[in-house]
Amino acid sequence: MADEGDILTDLDAAQNNGANGADNQPVAGIVSQYVKDLSVENPNAPESFRWDQQPQIDLQFNIAARPLEGETHEVELKVNVTAKSDRGNVYLVELSYCAVVGMRNLPEEQGHMFLYAEAPRLLFPFARRVLSDATRDAGFAPLVLDPIDFNGLYVQQMQQRQAQGGDPGAMSIPGSEN
């Protein structure tokens, strides 16, 4: 992996070319993205291919961020999907989809929001494709997830934490059952 100076080249170019107006303007972006971990379990195959009951889908998200070097952070979007029927688990998929994020001259509050709301919003379409491909490759119909309002969920979680007097750390966003 490139060092921090190389990683922020695109951010430097945008800032130096006046893309954000003047020097020292806030700039943030995705430097790279990748699958950090992917696990697909098809525990009852081949019998589960003949089950005619529509499985119940349990979908869970978790967002975490950690500083790397200098102005870079790693954002992790974890997605766990469990498809169950009365006969047992149909499939289980665990995905950790990550990005290296570069940020410069961002106030702390805006940086936090970028890490926990905007970066996951940018990563989600790619993670959704990985999940769809994984379920298809496991022998099932591709799982196509609806878009998620990460910004709205972020605001909701921050309001809850303020009301409880809590500290904004890793975000855990409850999934939905289909």
pLDDT in tens, 10-30: 555 544 554 544 578 899 999
Reduced to 3 DSSP states, what percent helix, strand and coil does the chain have, rounded to the nearest 5?
35, 35, 30
User: Are 115 and 77 contacting, i.e. CB atoms less than 8 angstroms apart?
Assistant: no
pLDDT of residue 171: 52
From the list 104, 99, 101, 102, the residue with the least C-alpha distance to 20 is 104
Reported as a pLDDT band with limits 50, 70 and 90, residue 164 is confident
The CA–CA distances, whole Å, from 10 to 13, 66, 103, 111, 152 equal: 5, 21, 11, 18, 29
Residues in a beta bridge with 36: none
Q: What are phi and psi of 150, to 5 degrees?
A: -65, -35
Average pLDDT, integer, range 96-107:
95
> What whole-number percentage of the chain has pLDDT above 90?
65
Average pLDDT over residues 82-91: 94
Q: Where are the alpha helices (DSSP H) in 17-118?
A: 108-113
DSSP β-bridge partners for residue 66: 74
Instruction: CATH number for 27-173: choose from 3.40.50.150, 3.30.565.10, 3.40.50.920, 3.10.420.10.
Output: 3.10.420.10
pLDDT band (50, 70, 90) for residue 163: confident
| 126-156 pLDDT, tens digit each | 999 999 999 999 999 999 999 999 999 999 9
Instruction: Specify the pTM.
Output: 0.79
Q: If you average pLDDT over residues 32-40, what whole number do you get? A: 97
Q: Decide if pLDDT at 108 tops 60.
A: yes
What local confidence, expressed as pLDDT, does residue 178 receive? Answer: 34
Note the pLDDT of residue 162.
Answer: 84
Q: For residue 163, how many other CB atoms are within 10 A of its CB?
A: 8
